[in-house]
Each structure stands twice: as C-alpha cells, then as structure tokens.
Structure 1
Amino acid sequence: MAHEGSAEDGAIVVRGARVHNLKEVDCEIPHNRLTVVTGLSGSGKSSLAFDTLYAEGQRRYVESLSAYARQFLERMEKPDVDDIEGIAPAVAIRQKNLTRNPRSTVATSTEIYDYLRLLFARIGTTTCPQCGQVVQKDHVDSIADQILGLTEGRKFYVLFRLNQAPVAATTPGRKPKAGSRGRPRNLRATTDSVGPSGQQGAVISDSLKRHLFMLRQRGFNRLFQDGRIFEFSAPESLLDIDFRKPVYALVDRLAVRPDIRQRFIDSVEICYREGGEAIINLLPQTPEEKAEWLSFNERFECKRCCIVFPEPQPSFFSFNNPAGACPQCQGFGNTIDFDPDLVVPDKKKTLGEGAIEPWTKPRYRSLQQEFKLAARDRGIPLNVPFYQLAPKHREWIMDGEGEFGGVRGFFKHLERKKYKLHIRVFLSRYRGYAVCSECRGGRLRREALNVSVEGKNIVDVCRLSIREARSFFDTLTLSQEQTKVAERVLEEIRSRIDFLYKVGLEYLTLDRLSSTLSGGESQRIQLATALGSNLVGTLYVLDEPSIGLHSRDTDRLIEILKNLRDIGNTILVVEHDPEMIRHSDRILDLGPGAGEHGGRIIYAGDYDGLIKDSHSLTGCYLRGELSVPVSAERRKPGKAWLRARGARQHNLKSIDVDIPLGLMVCVSGVSGSGKSTLVHDVLYNAMMARRGNAAPKVELDSIEGDEIFSDIILVDQSPLGRTPRSNPVTYIKAFDGIREAFASTPEAKKRHLSPGHFSFNIPGGRCETCQGDGTVTVEMQFLADIELVCEECHGMRFKPAILDVRFKGKNIHEVLQMTVKEALTFFAGIPSVAHKIHVLDEVGLGYLRLGQSATTLSGGEAQRVRLAAHMAHSATSQPLFIFDEPTTGLHFDDISKLLAAFRRLIDLGATVLIIEHNLDVLKAADWIIDLGPEGGDAGGKVVAAGSPEVIAACPQSYTGKFLASHFSDKTTSP
C-alpha cells in the first residue's frame, strides 16, 4: 500500500472505519488531490466516501456553529470510526435530484439569475411599448450638455412650476358658489380681486399663500407668467397674477457661456428639489421669434407618450417576489386551465362525430346540438376533421363569440357549480397546466419585459441554451460607463455559464426547471455551482459525476475537477469510469467482494500500480485481463417491431423510430440529444395512455406494435423503501412464503399464530416498542438524533413468543440474518421461496442478507433487486422492460452480471429497452438507436440505427467513434 504521508504533511487520515460493511478500514486521502474510490457495487465505496468522510467533515463544521445556527442545518450523526485527522469542511454532490420547487431553474440554482437581475437593473434599457422610444430620466449633466450646446449668448430662464391648488374665477360684486367646479370644497377664499384693466381676478387658497410665503423665506422673490416677471415681496404684488393659469418660480436668468455649467446645474437641481421638474424658457433672439419651452424632470417616463415606468430594480426581475412576478400565474409561468388536447383528444374526428369530447356526455348532448346549429350558421363544416379546420374556426370553438360562449365559456359556467362533487370530478378530467396567457410562460409582469440588454429582455436571455448564452455574453458590447458598473456582474455570469458548458450541459436552457433534470445533470449543476462559489480548503465528495455524460464529454468533466483541485480543494470521487480512474492522483480500490465480502481496501496508490496489482479486480479489467463479454452471435430482428411516427416532444425533430422486439435495444447519443425524451416522455407515456392509464400529453403522430406487450415495466434506481422495515426479501415477495412456513410449524399452530404474526409491518407479533424497526430514535434537540437498539427486543424486531417458534432449528430473526446464498440451501424444500431467492443470486446479490434494510442498499443494488422481483414473477408472457442508465454505480464485473440478467429476460420473451452511455453495454446490445448529432436544439434526430457494428461504422456518430475503438477489447462469451 502506498502512503503519501501523515495528516501533518497534508492528508486526511482515517483509522478504524466500521460504517456498514467496512472492516476496520485505515486509509489516507491526500489534501489538494483528486482521489477516486472504486470497487464492486456494495463493496463499501459510498460507506467510506459519504457515510464516513463527508458525514464527519459536515458534522464537525456544523458543531462549530452556534446553537441557533445549528437548528437550521442538517444534523449528522458521528460515523462509526476510531479517528479521522486532517478533515476539512465537506460538501457532498450526489446523483439524486432532490429539487421539487416548481420555481427552481438552472439559472436560479447556479445563481446566474441573481446576477442577471443585477445586470438588467444596472444597465438595462427600458423601451416604451407604445412608441418604441427609450425611457430615461433627465439627468442634470445631460441637460447641461443640451443647453450649453446652444448658440453662445442665448439667454434663458430656469423655472419650476408652482404646485398650485385649484382656484376659482371671480367677478366684481360676485363670489363663487361653494362646491363649484373651479374651486374645491373646504378651501376658504382669502382674496377677491380684480386684476389690472378690470380683468378677472382669482381666489387664492390658504395653501397657495403658505406655499408662496415659504418660497419667499427660502430666497425666491420672483414669479414668471406669460413672459412677465413679478416680484412678490409684498402681498399686493400678487394682484397682477392670474392664478388660474400656470405660474412659475424664477430660479435663475442666464446666457449660454462655458463658465456657467456649474451654476446652471445647481439651478436645475433646485428646480428638481422644489418643483420636481426644471423648465427652461429660451428667450427669442429676434422680434420675429417666439420663446421656446423645454421641460425636464426626474420621472422615469416616456417623454413622447407621458407614460411613467417603474425604475428597474433587482426585485423587479424576480418571479419569487410580488414586485416582479406575473400577477396572473404568481411567477410559475403556467396556470391550471382546460386542456384543449383533453377536450379534443382525437383530432381526426369531425365536429359531427363528437370531436368536442365533454359535449358527447349524455348530460350535455343538448349543448352539442346547439353548437352544431351555431357552427352551421357561421359556415363551419361539420364533416371535416378537427385538425383540418381553419385556425379562426378552431379559435371560435374554443373561445366563442357573442351568445355562443365556446368551450371556455362552458367551463366557466361549470366553475360556478364546482361546489358539487360530480362537477369537480368532471372538470378535473379536462384540466391541465397551460402556459400563462398573461406572461406567456415568462413568469414576470409585463413591465419587466420592457427592459432589455442588447435587444433581449431577461426572459429572452433565460430561454437561451448554455451554448447560446455563452456566445451572447462573450460578444456583448457595452459603453465605457456600462462596463464600469457591470464588469464584475458580467464576470460572474460568464464564469458560471462557462462552468456549465465545461461539465457537458451546453444543451440545457437557463429556464429549464430543476425538477426535470436527471440525477447526473443535477449533480453536474451542483458541481458548476461549487466552482462558481470559489471555495477553497474544502473536501468535495462526488458520486459518479460521469453518469449521464457521453464519452465525448468526459475529458471536459475531468478538466473541471482538476480546476477545482488546483484552486486548493480535496476531491474525493466514487467512480467506475476508466478515464476518470486514469486521470486521478490516487486510487482506493475496495473489495474483494460485495456486502459482507467487501469493506476492505484492496489497493491504494496511483494508476500505474493499479493495473499491475494482481489482487485487484478493477486492475484486471483495466489491463484487459478480464472484459465484459459479448454474445458470440447477436439476435437478429424479427417481424415484430414497435413503430413510432412523428415524435416531436421537446427537442425531437418529428422523428420516426423503429424498435425490434425480443431484443436488447439501446438508445444512445450525447447528453441532451433526446434519449430520455424519446423513451420516457414519448414511448412510455404513449403506451401507458393507450392502456388507459393517466399519462402526460405526448407530441406524437402515431405508435403501433405495443399491443404485443403483456406489461410495460419502468425500472429505475430510486430507493426501494424509506424505512428499515423495507428489505430485499419483502420486495421480491419471498417473505410471504417464509412467514407461511413458520406459521405451519407445530409450535405456531399450538399458539394459534398466523402468517401475520411473523410480519414486522403489522401489529401482532412485532415488538411494539420499536414497531418492528429493531431500533428506537432518540431526539437530541441541537445534536444529531441517536438511534439505539431497542431494549425490549434487542434489535430482533419480534416479541419473545414469536422468536420461540423455530423452522429447521432457526427462528424468524435468524432467518432474516442469512445471506441469499445461505437461504438458497435452507429453503431448498420450498420451491416458491427458493425460486425467488435464486433470482437475487442470479443478478449478483448473493451476498445480501434477506432482512438487510433497503435504506443501506446502493443505487445499483436497488435496481438489481427490482430486476430480480420482475424476473421472479415473469411467466412466458412478453413484457417490455425500460431501463435508464442501469450501469449507474456498477463495476465492470457487476455490468457482466447485469447483462447476463438481461439475456435471461430476453430468453423468457421480454424486450429490453435501455438508455445508456456505457460502451460495454452498447457493444453487447443487439440493436442501437443513436440520437444526435449534438445536444439541445442541435440534437433530436436519429443519426444511425442498427447493430453495434453498423453504429461503429457511421462517421456522423460520436457514439460510433468511441464504440469502434472499444471493439478492439471485445471478447466473446462462452
């Protein structure tokens, strides 16, 4: 075993780790290095990396915080280990996508959206939607530039308008009536006067008198009206002013000269402060000219349309804030409304045949007749398929017009009666999420969309893919002033987008919902976010970051991890990818087997030493001594095919796909090429909908050939259960036979015990203190909760009376502690149990204990337990199995066992459809459908389809290039 020194020299030193199946593991992880942990599925990789190192690093960091802060953080229990030295605060980046927030997007989770909001608030240009003119404030410097650019010597006045209260006209001997239009109520007249030459005067309100008095106190002694200047040092001087017309305070009298700039700016600022606007009265230069008036203000408004706009603030662009969120959809981008595709499920039907599905119900047939009459009157044909109707006719049917309310009016009418249960049930059949009609999915209020940067508003920018956004921000041109205020913000945006590009996510759009990401995509987004945070001195623990990544993009991922290492972090990666292992600084290989047979470090050192180590199973595969076998003869397609036509969901380009049945078929392609969309969103959902199951809307012309399948089974790597009571033997339904065997013993019959008494899931025979868990959780407030072995049953889960019953000399607790291989011999006389347990052994899980908690199983183990359950119950029927990257978490040796299980399923009559990047699986496939050529909008096409040899020979296929080089290592299975 190679050693890189002690903790003092820069390493994390682990002594005596016993978490799960680890066998007193001692190891060292050098600081600021990239260390890969590899080994068989179930050998203890995650137990060492996550449950020991990450758990201790996080626990120590959390315990260093105050009690107040700790209550908001995840509480980690101390791992079962003697000592860990030199550990840093830890960050775990897992495969699982735990985001369920419908507001979370790629941009928000990477903090790009926060910086975008800052960018648009700082340098965004607001445009008037009515006239297209730029909206801006009149800044004093720009006003000075404009006025001082006039002819030198041009005279002008700087004014601001008085805030006049309404006044009323008066005539000699007559006072205005109270409440008249020219005068507000409750204002007492103070002066009745007649102006010069007998003209009408005006009644001046008390508030206006006070305002004038305050202006005089602040040094304003002149008023301006109709080209005349009035002194108002004495009240009688006001008699010459007609207060029914605009009156202005004179701030300054100037002539255009270079040396008046500061004086002019000061005058304009006084106008802004006193009156909210500055008015420049340019005096005529000749007797023939007229005075010219220019008005400036600090209001953020369109000067042409006089529409005031809100000033851009970061909150103005947030769909999580009421200030920015669309008021109709509350920032979600969609609303619950009737779904046209559910209202007209079969668009080949005519209106006469009942294309409008809700009106075919007996209760609403009268509406159908009224609708036909209205359609005839409007000239809409009743014998033409719905999809061939003119757009204006379809719009009329949906939205109505005049007395005919249309489908929308029909549902609005029913909304008023939804207090009735049957109406609510009826409405729910036709409801779905529709794009918000107000913001059109943009999530923001309309005013926010008036702000743009280089012609794009913030919604337009978020709809760009990472690749497009990278190009947009790299070519963004700004003025010197804009650069000064936005340089740091742009730097943060560019770096984060660059990280997303480098981890192979260039096909994702910035507004992609986080909840729709795969586990691998979610993990790489977390990785990009970690890089953007620029943390140093941190332990990063990653769980197979290459999952979901095409071989073409692995090099970029490795480069990202090296960058993270080089800035001063320790990287610990659980990984099986040969390239990742080859580029690591240190390798820990766990084994030699899995479960109870694993938990030991077989090799620790560099790559060159690993491929020479004779004890390492990983080394045997890497140096070519062992390889994943390929069948000597591939199965050929028969007459049965699953055919899909016109698949255009998401980025699929209306493709036609033919899948041969009874074979192992792989769907490959670069990340984002449309594999999951094709298999999950189109094929699976379409087939489930044809079977009458609820399924999301599918954009597909037709599908045929699926009627041959007796069942359609989607197998993923999600946990089997979330409680300690869930285990492999219960999942494969073998526990029923075991309980019946115990209930049939003489002792059980004597005590009147039924099979239910031998279950830890229901009351009767289980220990009620721990409710069959075997452990009791003690809450420790600000410390991590402690799990203690139940003192009543001592962890055996059952009452003493149940444990007294023995079958072949063992009680129920002892049977659950057996491994699968031990149980095969023990239950050889009970075929119903032995057959199901044998399938577990067949998929490589012979080391698992029958009662092992499902919460301790790895993702690969959980998937194989699911596979075993289906194999155990499959008859001679023809099911379709769908797998999404089944090699996740699997070692080379585990992949060999998985492929053997697939071949067994196919021998039983099944069709196996797999989304996969792993070259060992692709070369073993009978048929491959390769999508691409790129990801996102540049993908969604079928690049090639055929046997692995056909794909390898296709020059346009990225998969083919890597597959061709991989075929040199091909060996044939016996």
Structure 2
Amino acid sequence: MALNKIIIRGAKEHNLKNIDLTLPRNKFIVFTGVSGSGKSSLAFDTLYAEGQRRYVESLSAYARQFLGQMEKPKVDYIGGLSPAIAIEQKAASKNPRSTVGTVTEVYDYLRVLFARAGTPHCPNCGREVKPQTAQQVVEQIAALPAGSRFQVLAPVARGRKGTFEDVLAQARAGGFTRARIDGVVSDLDQRFKLAKNKKHDIELVVDRLVIPTNGNDPDFESRLTDSVETALHWGAGMLLVDIAGQRELLFSEQNACPHCGLSFPELTPQLFSFNSPLGMCMTCNGLGEKVEFDPALFVVPDKSLHEGGVIPWGELRKKRHSWAYQIATQIAQRFRISLDTPWRDLPQEVRDLILFGNPNIKFRYQSENFTGNWPYEGVIHAIRRRYRETKSQGMRDYYSQYLSQQPCPDCGGTRLRPEATAVTAGGLSLVQVTSLSIRRAYAWVEALRGQTDPPLTTADLRLPIEPPFPIRPLTGERRTIAEEVLKEVRDRLKFMLDVGLHYLTLDRPAPTLSGGEGQRIRLASQIGSGLVGVMYILDEPSIGLHQRDNRRLLDSLLNLRDLGNTVIVVEHDQETMESADVIVDFGPGAGVNGGEIVFQGTPAQIKRSRRSLTGQYLAGKRTVTSPTTRRRQNGHWLTLRGVRHNNLKGVTVRFPLGCFTCVTGVSGSGKSSLVTETLYPALARVLNRAQTRPGNYDSLEGVEHLGKVVHITQDPIGRTPRSNPVTYVKVWDHIRRLFAQTPEAQLRGYKPGRFSFNVKGGRCEACAGYGQKLIEMHFLPDVWVTCDVCHGSRFNKETLQIRWKGRNIAEVLAMDVATALDFFGDVPPVRRILTTLHDVGLDYIQLGQSATTLSGGEAQRVKLAKELSRVATGDTLYILDEPTTGLHFADIQKLLDVLHRLTDAGNTVIVIEHNLDVIKTADWIVDLGPEGGEEGGRVIAAGTPEEVARVPQSYTGQYLARLLS
C-alpha cells in the first residue's frame, strides 16, 4: 500500500452511495458540492470518525472503558489514514469566564509575565511599591498621631484551615501570652478547640503601645523597634498594626506602599487570574458583571407617562385612580411638566425621582381607607423590594424582566482585585493590555522586546491615557526573565493575525465569538502546535471573513499543508477552491439524489467538466444572476441615529423600507453591533414588546411604517433529539391528524396525541419519545445512543401498526423533504408548508431529523421556511446574519429567490453578508469600516451596489467593481 495516499473503499455513511476515493496525502483538498450532497458525511462522519476510532482503539483497555465503544463508520476500507483533527464551526466556549486570551492561552503567559517581570504600584496613590525594611515600618508607625493606642500583631495564619495546636504551642513556648483568634483577643493559657475544616485568622499580640505626646522618646523607639522585629520574625515578614480597634495597617517585608501604609501579596500568576480566589474581584467573583436592576429596562424612551413610558406603571391614562397616577400628577405639578412628554425629553431630575425616589420629598397618597403623606421610594427600589420579599416564583420571573448584567461596581468590569490591576509591564497594566486588539497587543510585545523603531506610544495603541507616554522596553534581569514568555506570546498573537483575527481584543468574552471566529482561533492554535503528519478537517473556515481577509486565511491553510499535513476543507468559497491542490465535487443533487463523486481533480480541470455544477460556476458558464433593475424605495426610511455601541462611532444609518439591504464590511467593522445588537433590540422593544436592551443610540425614526420585526438567527431550533424541523414549522400537527383519521386509528380510538412523541400513550416509554437515550459519562461529555427498544423510531409497536398510504408514522419522519412533498402532494396544508422547506433549499433533510444535527445555516433556513409559511402581512422587517453559511452557488440562487420574494411582498429584508453574489443583488448597501475593531465603526459608503462600487475607500466597493464590470 502506498503511504502517500488515503484510500477509501465503499463509503456508505448517510447518503453516500458506496463511493470509492483516493486522496493524495500532504495536499490541500477541498470538498464541495450542493448542500446535502455528502461532503460532511465523508469528511467528518467517515474520515474523522474513523481516525478518532482508531486512536481510541490504540489506547489501553483501562482508558477505553471511560471513552466507551465508538461506532465504526459505514465504510469497507480506509488505508493510509493519518491521525485526524477536526476544526468545526462552533463557538470557542460558552463559559462566561472564558475570553479570547484564556482560550488561546495568551492570558496564561501574560500572567506569568506580569508576575515575574511586572512592577507593582499602590492602587491608592499610584506610587511604585517596594519591599519595606524593619526600620521603614518603625518610622511609619511612629508617624501616627500622638496619643494613638495600638497593638503590634504577628499574623501566623491567614485564611487557613486547621486546628493550629502546634502553632499556638510554639507561641506559648516563645513567651507570648495573648493572641487574636478570628478577631477575638484571648489569653494563650487556655486551650482552644478550633474547627478543623473552617478557615481561621490567628495573630500573636506582640506588644501594646501608645504614641508618646512629648515628641522623641528613645525608650519608645527602642521598644517599638524590638516589637516590629519580633512581629516580622514570627509573622514570616508580615506585621499588622491594630489602631484601637478602629483601623488596621498591614506591613510587609515583601511589597508595601510606604505612603499609604498598604502592603501587598507576593506577585504570583494566581494573583492575575480572575478564576482564582487570590486574584479575582470578590464582589463579582471574577465575572466582571453583576445581575442588577437595569434602569433602561423600566422605560420606553419614545413614550410619555400617559402612554406607558414607565413600564411597571403601565398606561396612566387608563389608570387614573392608581397610586402611580397620583404620584405622576404630583411630580408633573411640582416640576411643571406634562404627562404627555416623551420619557427621553423629561428633565434628568424628574427621571431620577421617578426611578430612584427621594426620601426628602413626600407625596400625598389617597384611597378609600387611607390618606397621608409619605416619601416615595422609586420604581426601581419598589421592584427590588418586592423581588426580595416575594415567595412566588411567578412574581420572581416577572420581576426578572428588569434585570440585566451590569459592570461590577467595584472592579469596573476588569474582573481582578485592585492589587492585580496596579501592576504594570512597559507602563501598562494587564487590564490595559487585554483591552488591546490582537494587532496592537502584538505591537506592545515587540515594544517590550525593544523591536519597535520609532518607540511605540500609548497614543499608537489608542489607549485613553493623558498625556501619552512611550512603552518602555524591559531591561536587565526583567528582560532576561521575560524573554521566553514574550516569545510565546508573540508567536500566538502572530498565528491569530495570520488567520484574520487582528480585530479581536484579548478580553473579548468567548461566548460572544461567532462559529467562524471560534474555528479560526482553534486553527491558529493548531498552526502554533507545529504538528506534522496530521489530517486536518475544517468546516467552511472562510465563514464570517470579508474577501479582503480571505487571502491571509488561505496562506495559513497552505502553511499547514507545507508543514507536512493533509488539509481537507469543506468549502464553497471560490477563492479557496481555486487555491486547492485537489477538488472533490459531490452531487449531483442533495439527499437521496446526492452521495456520489461528480468530479475529482485540479481547479483547472473542474472548470472543463460538463458534469460538475461547481465547475460551471467556477468557469463562469453559470452565475448567480443579478437583477436587471433595482427596487425603488417606497419613500419611507428607517433611520437609526447616533449609534455608539461597541466600536461604532456615533453613526447614523438609513435603511430604505420595502427593499433588500445588505450590511457589509470587513470582519469586526461593527455590522453585528449595528444590526443585531442595536437595531433589532430597539425595534423589538417597540414592535414586539420585548424586554431587550439595545446598544447606545440617540433616536430611531420610521418605526410607524412597520408591523413587526423578525430576527432569523443561526441558533439551534432545539437542543435535544426531540426537536426537529416538522415540529418547528408546525406541519406535524397536520400529519398527526391524517394518521388519527385512518379507519384503523378510529377503530382503536386513537387521537392525534397518540402520534406525538412528546406525551405518553403512543411514544416509546423506554426513551420517552427521544429515539435515543442520554448516557451520563460523568467527567466526560454526556452522549446520546440509539434506544434499544424502539431502535430510534420513537413510537411503540401499537402506534407503528397504523399506516397512511402504506407508511407508518416513523417511516414518514424518516422521509426527506423532497420525498414527503411528493407523498403528501394531495394534502394542501402539508404541501404548502413543505414547499417552503423546498424553496429554501432543504429538500435533503429528513422531516424528523434531530435539531442537534442541523448546522447553523440549516437551522436558519428552517426558521426562514417557517416565516414563509405564515400569512403575509407585507409590513415585516426580516433580519438575517450571513444566511449563505454552508451554501453552494446553486443554493445561494434559491435563497436569493426566497429573500426577494419576501421583499416583493412588501416586506423589508436586512442581511449581514460577505458573499458578493448576495451583495450584488441588493437594492441598497450599507458598508462599514474602514477596518475592524477600533479602526472600524464608521459608515464608509451607502447606496446601490453601483454607487458603492464607485467609492475607492470601500473594500466591498473594490470587489464589487470587479464583479459588476
């Protein structure tokens, strides 16, 4: 067998039709084809699955018992298989404690850097903190006000568990008579029984002294010096001064501020970890946020008090006998305002009084049983009190709508304790470094290494520090210590730059990353590992990347190949395909019509293939058609003014209603911040009465021309195997009724509920209708396995005996959409809904396919189909984020037909997109930039594709110009 090839024989996983394939090793290979043609089935479910299985089989029997038996893919033979690593489209982490820095391990190295080469400063005065000598400690204590009574304590245990019998015995032997144990001073001649599993603080009382009132006293200074030296000896370099029980001063021979009297712990990597009790802010436990009642969620800025501007008060014009109306009218009289004035136009003092109350202002309350004057506590304080006092879960859920994550009031969102944020390297704190984009963090590292000329300044890093100062290179011992650490940090940052992640900041929470960003972070880690002889399998790494950044990603993939690895990419991007050594085209159709190898060869060869649909698009023989004319605006605009969310620079953006609009720009330019985090939440609050919090903006105009807003995301349609497409699009109810109307079902008295796998009766009770059972793996992720009673059918034997047109309910669930459309062709309500799934290019998915197996793009198209099946109103705004994810050229044409159909019905469609085939068909484009991160957040161009193509500053325009010409 040749070692330079991967040989596959008889692959039959999913819809693969017993295919044979030979792939060259150490090449860049692209699997392409229409959606559902079998690309992922071969790449992930066959090659990767078999690579994983063989690896597990090579482990010891002891290790395999924890991993379980991995099912062998349906393939006759695979030879020449390398160890396999899959880098899939999924978020980097859902843990709120994870950041870009922790996921990439850059933060771990930075913690070591600051612990070993950092300069500590006092959080109070900002002065550099250095170790203190015993004489310095004496001088600071002697400077206390005359007559001050204090005791000198030697801390021998701080926050440690144990009984400490030996420590107390040594203290007695050393001549000590008193000790302060857990805050209480006690005589040492008594026996103590301290709880073994409780943390204790123990300080030996060394001396009790009074600052003399007659100035210099040699005897006092001598005694104080002896006491300080004794305390530092017994306290292992630490000393505590308790001033008459009012305040305490901590001194240390390690690190202390001589001006503020504050001492600090030893610099260790744990001090800079927000996941360690030694480093985390204790108020928010290192999360940087706290759940608090959010003033923004209590009000509707565009509504007046009469119209319900204060949500808990409701519409006051309908509640003229309520206490809220009484307060509002008295406030209106006191401040001479109108109850018809929009909330945003009310004076700040009025808004603060309504929300937070004022104990110094009394209001008159009047009812049938009570009349009196009382202070008003404010809406927020009233809701907080009720939330705290109620025992009803329903009321707690109701009050929770006013809660949101707020920056921690103590650490300001930094997650760290003050001592950690006051340590600097090159003049910057760890918090400031992690707030930098990856590109600027790389420049900072180079500056510490002395590799920047001219010197880098804080102004170059765009840090809000006045006056700016140069980043000082590390010198002497610190440079020697930091050399290896800086090299590791620099290399990791460089790999992330190479995969187009220059705009991310190191403190960006990992859950906010897109699937594409998470995948590219893992790709950067793999490049950094330097492995050779590995088979890497990637799922659409170009997702979320602007055409401008694509070349850099491709260079990284080719570099991975050149190291001596086989790189297999499931991809639809034209530039990626044309850079491949080998293209494997799957098809010819989707589902049962796919599963074959249509073509295998070089990019030049596929362009000459008549059988390959992909080749025809690459050769330009087929194209995604551009409209001959653009829609005219209907005269109404949706205008969002002064958006300042994330990196957006107070932009004002206009969207024409009744049109198809694309929001474009390089990665990190602010597209999602504008559309999904500001525009959609702002509209949802007004149109859908949602309790969403939009990003900062000044005003929103034109909402009166819309009926509702729908955000079609790529989030899963369900998170368990019980969820599936037919239940989501609401066609399952119609199908269940058909089965309940059969003669046999009526004879047995079966109702539609009998054919539901969500309730008892007809479902298999062994798996509760899941078709699978959840196996808990304890310290490993839980896994789903096929039910051994119903064998995945979900129903019991009696239910499966009922047939409609010769098929039972489980066989219908196993049909793909194309087959079901033919099967139910004479049932109008079923046909109508299934047609929408067909229209969005989902012919190949099974009706009962588990929601957990659908990709983000497939889930989004299922949601789009559900919207298509609704009764059209013509005044809906649809928002989609990269709907072309996972789509072939031919599928993009289908998707565009659907989106334009929605627009032709009088709706408005706004799409965030990088795909030029979609952008060129838009009626209007809003292009953000010019770069990502802090260098983005501006509107570079707005207009028709032809108008944007003429703007030289627009990267999107540059690529459009080539395409439209």
TM-score (structure 1 length as normaliser): 0.77
Specify which of 61, 71, 77 is matched with residue 77 of structure 1: 71
How far does residue 41 in structure 1 lie from its aligned partner after superposition? 0.7
Q: Does 1:931 align with 2:903?
A: no
Write the letter of the residue equivalent to 1:765.
G
Pair 704,43 (structure 1): closer, same or farther in 2 beyond 3 Å: same
Larger Rg: 1
**Per-residue displacement from partner, 1:841-885 (whole Å, max 9, x unpaired)?**
333333444444444444444333332222122335432222110
**Per-residue displacement from partner, 1:700-724 (whole Å, max 9, x unpaired)?**
2222333443432222333334445
**Per-residue displacement from partner, 1:406-453 (whole Å, max 9, x unpaired)?**
769946982795245498567545433221121111111111122111
Pair 843,425 (structure 1): closer, same or farther in 2 beyond 3 Å: closer
Q: Does 1:316 align with 2:292?
A: no
Write the letter of the residue equivalent to 1:475.
A
Specify which of 268, 272, 295 is matched with residue 340 of structure 1: 295
Q: Does 1:566 align with 2:562?
A: yes
Write the letter of the residue equivalent to 1:329.
C
RMSD (CA atoms): 4.3
SS for the counterpart of 2:739 is helix
**Per-residue displacement from partner, 1:201-225 (whole Å, max 9, x unpaired)?**
xxxx996899xxxxxxxxxxxxxxx
Q: Does 1:451 align with 2:423?
A: yes
Specify which of 484, 489, 497 is matched with residue 488 of structure 1: 484
Q: Could you say which residue in structure 1 is the equivalent of 2:50?
A: 56
Specify which of 576, 595, 602 is matched with residue 606 of structure 1: 602
Distance across 1 between alignment mates of 2:603 and 2:410? 58
Specify which of 510, 529, 541 is matched with residue 533 of structure 1: 529
2:499/2:556 contact within 8 Å kept: yes
1:161/1:246 contact within 8 Å kept: no
Q: Could you say which residue in structure 2 is the equivalent of 1:34?
A: 28
**Per-residue displacement from partner, 1:927-969 (whole Å, max 9, x unpaired)?**
111111111122112111111111111111100101111224x
How far does residue 767 in structure 1 lie from its aligned partner after superposition? 3.9
Q: Does 1:641 align with 2:637?
A: yes
2:297/2:692 contact within 8 Å kept: no
**Per-residue displacement from partner, 1:103-138 (whole Å, max 9, x unpaired)?**
111111111110110110011111234554322237
- Aligned residue runs from structure 1 range 372-771, under 5 A: 410=381, 414=385, 418-421=389-392, 424=396, 428-476=400-448, 477-691=473-687, 692-771=689-768
Q: Does 1:807 align with 2:795?
A: no
2:712/2:878 contact within 8 Å kept: yes
- Aligned residue runs from structure 1 range 735-884, under 5 A: 735-773=732-770, 796-884=793-881
1:655/1:942 contact within 8 Å kept: yes
Distance across 1 between alignment mates of 2:173 and 2:575? 86
Pair 965,99 (structure 1): closer, same or farther in 2 beyond 3 Å: same
Write the letter of the residue equivalent to 1:299.
Q
Write the letter of the residue equivalent to 2:657.
L
Pair 923,346 (structure 1): closer, same or farther in 2 beyond 3 Å: closer
**Per-residue displacement from partner, 1:556-608 (whole Å, max 9, x unpaired)?**
11111222233333322111111111212222221121111111222223222
**Structure 1: which 5+ residue stretches go unaligned?**
1-5, 140-157, 163-180, 185-204, 211-241, 251-268, 278-295, 969-974
SS for the counterpart of 1:667 is strand
Q: Could you say which residue in structure 2 is the equivalent of 1:259?
A: none
1:466/1:507 contact within 8 Å kept: yes
Write the letter of the residue equivalent to 2:623.
S
Distance across 2 between alignment mates of 1:387 and 1:160? 57
Q: Could you say which residue in structure 2 is the equivalent of 1:218?
A: none
Write the letter of the residue equivalent to 1:453.
A
Distance across 2 between alignment mates of 1:272 and 1:786? 57
Pair 532,770 (structure 1): closer, same or farther in 2 beyond 3 Å: same
Q: Could you say which residue in structure 2 is the equivalent of 1:90?
A: 84
How far does residue 483 in structure 1 lie from its aligned partner after superposition? 1.7
- Aligned residue runs from structure 1 range 190-201, under 5 A: none
Write the letter of the residue equivalent to 2:422.
N
Write the letter of the residue equivalent to 1:500.
M
How far does residue 618 in structure 1 lie from its aligned partner after superposition? 1.0
Distance across 2 between alignment mates of 1:742 and 1:386? 55
Most deviating of 115-124 and 660-669: 660-669
1:67/1:782 contact within 8 Å kept: no
How far does residue 395 in structure 1 lie from its aligned partner after superposition? 8.2
2:301/2:309 contact within 8 Å kept: no
Pair 639,26 (structure 1): closer, same or farther in 2 beyond 3 Å: same
Pair 910,72 (structure 1): closer, same or farther in 2 beyond 3 Å: farther
Pair 440,901 (structure 1): closer, same or farther in 2 beyond 3 Å: same
TM-score (structure 2 length as normaliser): 0.77
SS for the counterpart of 1:588 is strand
Q: Could you say which residue in structure 2 is the equivalent of 1:155?
A: none
How far does residue 839 in structure 1 lie from its aligned partner after superposition? 2.7
Write the letter of the residue equivalent to 1:30.
P
Distance across 1 between alignment mates of 2:546 and 2:221? 76
Write the letter of the residue equivalent to 1:560.
S
Distance across 1 between alignment mates of 2:35 and 2:418? 53
Q: Could you say which residue in structure 2 is the equivalent of 1:888?
A: 885
Q: Could you say which residue in structure 2 is the equivalent of 1:906?
A: 903
Most deviating of 686-695 and 727-736: 727-736
**Per-residue displacement from partner, 1:132-173 (whole Å, max 9, x unpaired)?**
43222379xxxxxxxxxxxxxxxxxx99999xxxxxxxxxxx
2:708/2:875 contact within 8 Å kept: yes
**Per-residue displacement from partner, 1:470-519 (whole Å, max 9, x unpaired)?**
22222221103222100111111111222222222222211111111111
Distance across 1 between alignment mates of 2:823 and 2:358? 76
Pair 480,786 (structure 1): closer, same or farther in 2 beyond 3 Å: closer
SS for the counterpart of 2:428 is coil
Write the letter of the residue equivalent to 1:128.
C
Distance across 2 between alignment mates of 1:98 and 1:567? 25
Pair 758,394 (structure 1): closer, same or farther in 2 beyond 3 Å: closer
Q: Could you say which residue in structure 1 is the equivalent of 2:9?
A: 15
Distance across 2 between alignment mates of 1:321 and 1:906? 53
Write the letter of the residue equivalent to 1:458.
L
Most deviating of 415-424 and 452-461: 415-424
Q: Does 1:133 align with 2:127?
A: yes
Most deviating of 933-942 and 72-81: 72-81
Write the letter of the residue equivalent to 2:492.
R
1:12/1:87 contact within 8 Å kept: yes
Write the letter of the residue equivalent to 1:82.
D
Write the letter of the residue equivalent to 2:54.
R
1:332/1:443 contact within 8 Å kept: yes
Q: How many residues of Structure 1 are paired with residues of Structure 2 in the alignment? A: 838
Most deviating of 527-536 and 800-809: 800-809
SS for the counterpart of 1:713 is strand
Q: Could you say which residue in structure 2 is the equivalent of 1:153?
A: none
1:75/1:785 contact within 8 Å kept: no
Q: Could you say which residue in structure 1 is the equivalent of 2:103?
A: 109
Pair 614,479 (structure 1): closer, same or farther in 2 beyond 3 Å: same
Percent identity over the alignment? 49
Distance across 1 between alignment mates of 2:67 and 2:791? 32
Pair 791,917 (structure 1): closer, same or farther in 2 beyond 3 Å: closer
Q: Could you say which residue in structure 2 is the equivalent of 1:302?
A: 257
Distance across 1 between alignment mates of 2:355 and 2:848? 58
Write the letter of the residue equivalent to 1:559.
D
Q: Does 1:960 align with 2:954?
A: no
Q: Could you say which residue in structure 2 is the equivalent of 1:152?
A: none
SS for the counterpart of 1:571 is strand
How far does residue 305 in structure 1 lie from its aligned partner after superposition? 4.7
Distance across 2 between alignment mates of 1:182 and 1:915? 67
Distance across 1 between alignment mates of 2:356 and 2:555? 55
Distance across 2 between alignment mates of 1:530 and 1:183? 58
